[in-house]
Each structure stands twice: as structure tokens, then as C-alpha cells.
Structure 1
Amino acid sequence: MPSALGRMIRGVRWYLRELTGESAYDRHVAHLRRDRPAARVPTRREFERMRTERQERDPRQGFRCC
């Protein structure tokens, strides 16, 4: 039973992180380390600032309806 409960909690946590965009930074860092190892990894704050600026330039980015 504890393993089933643990899987359920991990699944809910994953879903909420994906839904809120919280996991975007982790994916970005993984991408940089895998594809561009010499590139500087931005801090979480820098990443969120870049992401917000990108969304303000094109409000449709990140807000898909379909």
C-alpha cells in the first residue's frame, strides 16, 4: 500500500508542476547541460525574467488554447 500511495503522490506532484510551469526551469537546465555544455546556466530568477519577457513580447507563447 505505501508504494501505491507514493506513486500517487509523485503523480500528483508531477501533474501540478507541469500544469503550473514549475518544471520548465528544470527542463531548460537539462537542455543546456545536454546540448550546450559550455553555455552559462541562468539562475532561476534570470530564467523566470527571460520567460516573462518572452511571454510579454508574444502573449500567445505559453498560453495555448488548443
Structure 2
Amino acid sequence: MKVLRALRWYLRELGGAAAYERHCARVRANHPDHPVPTRRAYELDRLRRREGRPLDRCC
């Protein structure tokens, strides 16, 4: 059972599902009047932020 939980955690972290859920929780807690972004909107914003800082990446 522990192995399955660990595998599930790993796959969710690897796939980005956990990061999106953490972001949604932060938006709900810190900005209750703002709408929670869709997964697609979150991923596009994350990609734009990453591409806007080329020095933060190794490649």
C-alpha cells in the first residue's frame, strides 16, 4: 500500500497535477474574490513565465 501511495505521489508531481492543485489552493486562500484558473490557463501562464526568464534555466 505504501508503494502505491508513493508511486501515485511521484506520478502526480511529475505530471504537474499537484502543482496545479497547490496553486488553486493558494488562489482560494489568498484571493477568494479571484476566479480559480483552469488547468490550461495555469499551464499557459506557467510556460510564459518560464520562457520570460531564460537565464533561470540551464538549457
Q: TM-score, normalised by structure 2?
A: 0.78
Q: TM-score, normalised by structure 1?
A: 0.71
Structure 1 or 2: more helix by fraction = 2
Q: Would you say 1:41 and 2:36 are equivalent positions?
A: yes
Instruction: Report the counterpart of residue 25 of structure 1 in structure 2.
Output: 20
Question: Greater RCO between the two (CA within 8 Å, min separation 6)?
Answer: 2
The share of aligned pairs that are identical, in percent, is 46
Q: Read off the aligned partner of 1:43 and give its amino acid letter.
A: T
Greater gyration radius: 1
How many Å separate the matches in 2 of 1:19 and 1:44?
Answer: 15
Structure 1 unmatched ranges of 5 or more = none
CA-based RMSD: 1.8
Aligned residues: 57
